[in-house]
């Protein structure tokens, strides 16, 4: 039997975060397929488009916030062969699936994955040329805080990129 979740309006931000974690932890096996279905297959093209626009000039490092199953990081690794990617997600089960995908593609030397929070990025200021998030901002209650953190860890003149299915409310 499927669990019934309350609406976003019925929960606090803390409850919402835990609810999102629980939902994503249960859909890890079908997450990539769900992304393809919900975007009508456009997520792949949007990801490729964003990756082609990425410019690596200083650190050759990219941070993939809310990495999920590491699709964005894997695409970056394929298109930018000198780049080192760090993928961060707050759902351990997603990071576990991402590890499997990265290993299967022999990219473990270039993609590092970790559990972490977009609101408290565990990196020094100016650590990455590009900081990106694909299809994750909508699930973060404090979007402004997440965007501030992304701007904090990008090098001066670097890029912060957000891909979403819809325009987020900030």
What is the model's pLDDT at position 169? 67
Nearest CA to 25 out of 74, 68, 77, 85 is that of 68
Query: What is the spatial distance between Cα 27 and Cα 18, in angstroms, rounded to a whole number?
Result: 15
User: Burial level of 91, CB count in 10 A (0-12/13-18/19+)?
Assistant: buried
The encoded tokens of residue 53 equal 């626009």
Task: Encode the chain (170 residues) as per-residue pLDDT tens digits.
Answer: 566 666 666 777 777 777 777 766 677 777 777 777 877 888 888 889 999 999 988 789 999 999 999 999 999 999 999 999 999 999 999 999 999 999 999 999 999 999 999 999 999 999 999 999 998 998 898 999 999 999 999 999 999 999 987 776 66
pTM for the whole structure? 0.85
Opening angle at CA 66, ends 64 and 71, nearest 5: 60
- Domains of the chain, each with CATH number or no CATH: 8-163 (3.40.50.150)
């Amino acid at each position: 039997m499927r669990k019934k979740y309350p609406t976003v309006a019925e929960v606090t931000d803390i409850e919402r975060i835990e609810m999102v974690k629980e939902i994503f932890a249960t859909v890890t096996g079908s997450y990539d397929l769900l992304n393809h279905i919900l975007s009508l297959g456009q997520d792949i093209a949007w990801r490729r488009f964003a990756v082609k626009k990425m410019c690596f000039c200083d650190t050759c490092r990219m941070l993939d916030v809310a990495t999920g199953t590491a699709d964005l990081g894997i695409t970056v690794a394929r298109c930018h062969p000198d780049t080192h990617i760090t993928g961060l997600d707050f759902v351990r089960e997603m990071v576990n699936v991402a590890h499997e995908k990265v290993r299967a593609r022999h990219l473990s030397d270039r993609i590092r994955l970790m559990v972490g929070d977009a609101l408290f990025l565990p990196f020094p200021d100016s650590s990455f040329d590009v900081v990106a998030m694909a299809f994750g901002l909508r699930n973060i209650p404090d979007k402004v805080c997440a965007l501030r953190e992304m701007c904090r860890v990008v090098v001066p003149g670097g890029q912060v990129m957000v891909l979403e299915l819809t325009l987020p409310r900030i």
